[in-house]
Structure 1
Amino acid sequence: MADGEESDAEVPRYLNGFRPDTWEQEMEAIPMFMRRCPDEIDAERHPELACLQSMLFDQDKEPAACSIPRAGPSSARARPAELATMYKNEGNAYFEEKDYGRAVLAYSEGLRQSFEDVELRAVLLSNRAAANCRLGNYRSALNDATQARKLKPDHLKAIVRGALCHMELKNYSEAIAWCEEGLRIDSKEKKLLEVRAKADKLKRVEERDARKAKAMAKKEQCQKERLLAAIKERNIKLKVVEPSNEEEEISNALAEINLNGFLSDGATGAKVHLDADGNLNWPVLFLYPEHEQTDFIEAFHENSRFIDHLTVMFAELPPWDLERKYLPSNLELYFEDEERAEMYELNPEHTLLQVLQHQRYFVKAGTPTVLAFVKSSPFSKNYFHGKKVHRL
């Protein structure tokens, strides 16, 4: 045998150690590592657990007597109902300390015991509902209160807790129903009277708000339908992305403006609308590609001319026009037919409606767009190079 090696016989072993093939079962027999308490505890099979239970339930015995497990099979057994009561009291102590998480665990352990005392089971469920409610677990709490009420229909605390859970979940009709159920048991129960009054008030507010929302939705739908009818009547074409039905077409075509990076503060929420005289007013975007600048008009009346807006917009030269070229009389306006990759020059004397009615003009995202260039500028010549340009 080489130096430094030991035979198997020379390797020290732990006394009373777990056997490799049964270590899990052996560990399960130790009270500290048990995953659940056995329904019946045999002092011969579970001596440590029998000792602990004897300490808890054999009131006439001294704790020291447990140092040696007793062999009697029945004296060391605690009935499941006694265990459940113990866990209930433990949960109540945690609840008083406001340790609601541990209270829930204690009540749950009590409910795992097999016993037939309906009253005790209902109390454990109701108490767990109270602890879960304090933790904000309203659906779990409501489930416990419901189960407690099924076991004992006149369990007033369970009914009160169920009503409170329904209030937190904004189930006002259900909260009122639970309150009515409890008040048939005790017509003077203060908490139920308070909850019923509050639930009734909030329910009426909720119903009023629902009526308002429904009326508003109906009004908005009517306005959308009138608006779409006015657009179709003028033979204006809207560019939408494959709508599946007319309602989606309205929603897509008249959606809030998305200017793809050219968003100005005034653009937010701007939409085409009908004024009191039945005329269309459009949000219109002016693009100046040479300087990557924009102007946005929130309400461009359909019968107003482009030249009128240009005169107002360029009454003072913009700070980015360093060469002072952007004068109303020195500008050309175009729109682009993206499908054909063609440009159409607009007559500034034309109205917005005249342009929108052009057979190749499509309003995209609810916002008419025009491009402005300085006449005969090097930039415009380069921009139009290779493109077909039409004059209106």
Structure 2
Amino acid sequence: MASPAVQNDSDDDDVFAEAFTRHKYKNAFNEDNWEEEFDKIPMFMKTAPDEIDPKEYPELAHIQAIIHDEDRTPEEKAQSLKNEGNAFFKEKNYLKAIVAYTAALKNKCGDQDLDTVLLTNRAAAHFHLGNMRSSLNDAAAAKKIKPDHLKALIRGAQCCIELCNFATAMQWCEEGLRAHPTDKKLQDLRTSANKHKRAAERDARKAKVKEKKLANEKEALMAAIKERGIKLLQSVKPRQSGSDGEDDDEGSSTAIAELSLDGLSSHQATGAQVFLDEQHALHWPVLFLYPEHQQSDFISAFCENNCFVDHFAVMFGEELPPWDVDRKYHLQNLQLFFEDEERETFYKVDPESSLLKVLQHKRFFVKVGTPSFIILVNGSSFWKTYLSGKKIRGM
């Protein structure tokens, strides 16, 4: 006795076989004339027909075209390839259309009318693919052959508009309208190109005014930094032997950057940059580092006339930072330093000092446009370890 699983499989096979007998294969030969249809396939033909109708014998027509291709004139080959390209174009297969039109042009049939059509057709295919420069080149080549060819003139104007060459687009339209003064498409394209041209000129004037304003602001900013004696750090050279003296500040090997916004490039990294307000005061982006907890604070606009303690009152006021699990970063416990990396020296900063006073210190250098400072808890175990072996100086 068969198992239930085998029985079920058998039932499924019976159902499939029954369905197969009910449905005919859609692409099968006709039962009444299958021998006649079979005889139309080139591989199985007993005799070739005297006249080949491409509609009745499409496969045989293709084979014949391949065999006798060398017998056709360049014009016939180009015309055939043009028709093939047009068929691809109608199917929106623009890449294959371009291949067909290009192959047709390579035949160099010498028929200027046909070459002009091939170039404008290929220009249209490139245009639909977004290849505006190639499309414009083909339109220009077609116009060179026939200067009054309407489709080439229209396509050239369209390409120039897409490429934002509005003045050139208007030239294409003017050339076209001299030959076709009533053509609505060329008139509309000229109107559009003129509108875009005026808008582009207006935007260019605005951009020039804005650029000049920014240049004046940069110049004023650089002058303000220079007159304050603030130093922008470009690089630090290796320490020279014998440079450990405490009074050799003027002989520093630090390279100071030329005063330019290239030395104030923190905007890309932090979204903030030093600026000059209407009262001629500088506002700096300032970074505070807490090495004990590998944390940091960032003030995007620290006015040079403000004291550090003013910001500390907010940063360490009623609520201490969440990372301060030991609750020891109280205002009265804090010590503020800046580091002179070249001298390997820490300078202790009085929180009552203004930012400007510190920036003007002879050993303070603004790096990447952002002054940075270190905050430690006075007397803590980390404070002792971190500063151990380092030179500490007061301002």
TM norm structure 1 = 0.75
Tell me the equivalent position of 1:360: 363
SS class of match (1:125): helix
The one-letter code matched in structure 1 to 2:136 is: L
The one-letter code matched in structure 2 to 1:237 is: K
Tell me the equivalent position of 1:203: 197
For residue 237 of structure 1, report the CA deviation from its aligned partner: 0.8
Note if contact 1:240-1:249 (Cα within 8 Å) is conserved in structure 2. Answer: no
User: 1:337 pairs with 331, 336, 340, which one?
Assistant: 340
The one-letter code matched in structure 1 to 2:311 is: H
Matching of residues 317-332 of structure 1 within 5 Å: 317-332=320-335
Note if contact 1:336-1:344 (Cα within 8 Å) is conserved in structure 2. Answer: yes
Tell me the equivalent position of 1:96: 90
Note if contact 1:240-1:252 (Cα within 8 Å) is conserved in structure 2. Answer: no
Tell me the equivalent position of 1:41: none
User: 1:230 pairs with 224, 229, 237, which one?
Assistant: 224
In structure 2, the CA distance between the partners of 1:131 and 1:308, relative to structure 1 (3 Å rule), is closer
Tell me the equivalent position of 1:189: 183
Matching of residues 133-282 of structure 1 within 5 Å: 133-241=127-235, 249-257=259-267, 268-282=270-284
SS class of match (2:71): coil
Aligned length: 317
- State the alpha-carbon separation in 2 of the partners of residues 340 and 297 from structure 1: 27
RMSD of the alignment, in Å? 2.8
Q: Does residue 79 of structure 1 match 2:73? A: yes
In structure 2, the CA distance between the partners of 1:208 and 1:344, relative to structure 1 (3 Å rule), is same
SS class of match (2:190): helix
For residue 102 of structure 1, report the CA deviation from its aligned partner: 2.6
Q: Does residue 373 of structure 1 match 2:376? A: yes
- State the alpha-carbon separation in 2 of the partners of residues 135 and 335 from structure 1: 59
- State the alpha-carbon separation in 2 of the partners of residues 277 and 378 from structure 1: 44
The one-letter code matched in structure 1 to 2:291 is: P
User: 1:314 pairs with 316, 319, 322, which one?
Assistant: 316
Note if contact 2:284-2:300 (Cα within 8 Å) is conserved in structure 1. Answer: yes
Stretches of structure 1 that go unaligned for 5 or more consecutive residues are 1-50, 58-62, 260-267
- State the alpha-carbon separation in 1 of the partners of residues 342 and 175 from structure 2: 68
In structure 2, the CA distance between the partners of 1:331 and 1:97, relative to structure 1 (3 Å rule), is closer
User: 1:351 pairs with 339, 347, 354, which one?
Assistant: 354
Q: Does residue 287 of structure 1 match 2:289? A: yes
Identity of aligned residues (%): 52
In structure 2, the CA distance between the partners of 1:192 and 1:270, relative to structure 1 (3 Å rule), is same
Stretches of structure 2 that go unaligned for 5 or more consecutive residues are 1-47, 55-59, 237-255
Runs of 4+ deviating beyond 3 Å: 54-57, 246-249
TM norm structure 2 = 0.74
